[in-house]
Amino acid sequence: DSGVTQTPKHLITATGQRVTLRCSPRSGDLSVYWYQQSLDQGLQFLIHYYNGEERAKGNILERFSAQQFPDLHSELNLSSLELGDSALYFCASSENQGWEKLFFGSGTQLSVL
Amino acid sequence: KNEVEQSPQNLTAQEGEFITINCSYSVGISALHWLQQHPGGGIVSLFMLSSGKKKHGRLIATINIQEKHSSLHITASHPRDSAVYICAVSLGGGTSYGKLTFGQGTILTVHP
């Protein structure tokens, strides 16, 4: 058990809908990272939050947004969903800003039908 | 050309064999990670390194910064080592070492 909790584990929805994925980091970790794993693109970095502030953005679509709350949990919001958004979404946490081991959650499997 | 290339893509071994997975990258990096992903999807960080060599149990990771190359070795392989092994690099320093670029992964199957 990594100590990082992601909910829900599975999510099935329809095109055009909006969903929210949640990540609770390990106790004491200030950084949360979001990654997307799809069959065609593999793993890709989406976004990094540190202590409530956005620190880096990767290949994150404009339809996607994220935030980190004062209790350090983070949410990834995906809107106007398309079939191609179907993927496994991971979050990871680290104590500071990543110059240390990353701890991954078990992922949320999103299926857009 | 991908910035991070792994080889081989698939690897089959017999229990007890010594295994090597290679990772080459094309740009300067601040850190390299080796990750393990088991069937069912969970990802575990095995190593993070920026120079030299690290060892944990039967796993050894090395990196050669000048040659832009890293290897992951598994000694005395076991069927429970069967997983996807992923190399990932952090391209820049500054404030986000977790902004990773990933290799395509190596699927390892170890037969008893």
- The pLDDT, as a whole number, for residue A89 is 97
A-chain CB neighbours of B30 within 8 Å are 99
B-chain CB neighbours of A92 within 8 Å are 43, 98
- The pLDDT, as a whole number, for residue A101 is 85
- The pLDDT, as a whole number, for residue A98 is 64
Instruction: Write the DSSP string, B92-106.
Output: --TT-TT-EEE---E
Q: Spell out the residues 6+ positions from residue A27 whose beta carbon is closer than 8 angstroms to its own.
A: A3
SS percent in chain A: helix, strand, coil, step 5: 5, 55, 45
pLDDT digits (tens, 9 = 90+) for A18-74: 999 999 999 999 999 999 999 888 999 999 999 999 999 998 999 999 999 999 999
Q: Do B98 and A42 touch (CB under 8 A)?
A: no
Structure tokens at B8: 């081989």
**CB-CB: which of B48, B86, B96 is closest to A43?**
B86
Phi/psi of residue B74, each to 5°? -120, 120
- The pLDDT, as a whole number, for residue B95 is 53
- B97 confidence band (pLDDT: 50, 70, 90): confident
- The pLDDT, as a whole number, for residue B55 is 97
Q: Residue A5 pLDDT > 90, yes or no?
A: yes
Q: Do B99 and A90 touch (CB under 8 A)?
A: no
- The pLDDT, as a whole number, for residue A16 is 97
Q: Residue B93 pLDDT > 70, yes or no?
A: no
B96: contact with A, CB 8 A cutoff: yes
- The pLDDT, as a whole number, for residue B99 is 87
- The pLDDT, as a whole number, for residue B29 is 84
Task: State which of A76-85, B41-50, B94-103 shows the largest mean pLDDT.
Answer: A76-85
Contact predicate A86/A69, CB 8 Å: no
